[in-house]
A = this chain, B = another copy of it.
Amino acid sequence: MCCRCSRGVKIIPDIPSPHEIPDRLVDAADILILPGGAPGAKTFCQSEDVLRLIREFRNEGKWVAAICAGTTALVESVKSSRAEGEAAKKCKVTSHPSVKQEIVDAGWTYADDSERVVVDGKIITSRGPGTAMLFSLTIVEKLAGKAKRDEIQGPMICAETL
C-alpha cells in the first residue's frame, strides 16, 4: 500500500491504513506527530482512528506534535464528546496561518504569529514547511535532550536563525 503525498511523492507507510493501527500503539511510541498539508489534515480530522490515537497519547502522558494544518486534527480530537481528562484540554498552540481562525474559534489559545514553534505541556506545534526544521529539532530536544539536538543539528548546516 502506497501513500501519495500532495506533491506526488509516493511513500510506503509502516502501517498500511488507520484501520490497521495496532492496539495499544501508545505503549510502543514516545510521541505522535501529525504532519500538515490541507487535504491530509482533513483526512486526519475525519478519521475516528486518528482522533482516538491523539486522545490516547494525551491521556497516557505521551507527547503529541502537529505542524501546519496538522494542528486542526488536535483541535478536532477535543471537540468529540469522547474527549476526557488530559485529552479534553485546550492548550496554547500555533499552526499554518490559513487554519488559525478555526483554531481560535474552537477556543484554543493561539500563540503570537512570531512564535515559530510552541511547546505547551506535552503538545508541540509549528507553522509550516519553512518551520519544519525547527519543529523537528525541538522534538529531538524535548525527547532526547539538548546535547542530542546539538549533535544532530551541527552537521546539518542549519541557518543561524530557524
A contact residues vs B (CB 8 Å cutoff):
2, 9-12, 96-98, 116, 127-131, 133-134, 153, 155-162
Bound-complex Cα distance A143 to B129 (A): 21
Bound-complex Cα distance A96 to B154 (A): 12
Cross-interface CB contact of A130 among B2, B98, B127, B158, cutoff 8 Å:
B158
Residues of B within 8 A of A131 (CB): 157, 159
In addition to A10-B11, A131-B157, 15 A-B residue pairs with Cβ atoms within 8 Å of each other are A12-B12, A96-B155, A96-B157, A97-B155, A98-B155, A116-B157, A116-B159, A128-B155, A129-B158, A130-B133, A130-B157, A130-B158, A130-B159, A159-B162, A160-B161
Residues of B within 8 A of A155 (CB): 96-98, 128
Cross-interface CB contact of A10 among B12, B98, B133, B153, cutoff 8 Å:
B12
Bound-complex Cα distance A65 to B161 (A): 25
Q: Please tell me if the beta carbons of B157 and A129 are within 8 angstroms of each other in the complex.
A: yes
Bound-complex Cα distance A10 to B2 (A): 10
Cross-interface CB contact of A97 among B11, B129, B133, B157, cutoff 8 Å:
B157
Nearest CB to that of A134 among chain B residues? B159
Q: Please tell me if the beta carbons of B127 and A157 are within 8 angstroms of each other in the complex.
A: yes
Residues of B within 8 A of A158 (CB): 129-130
Bound-complex Cα distance A11 to B11 (A): 5
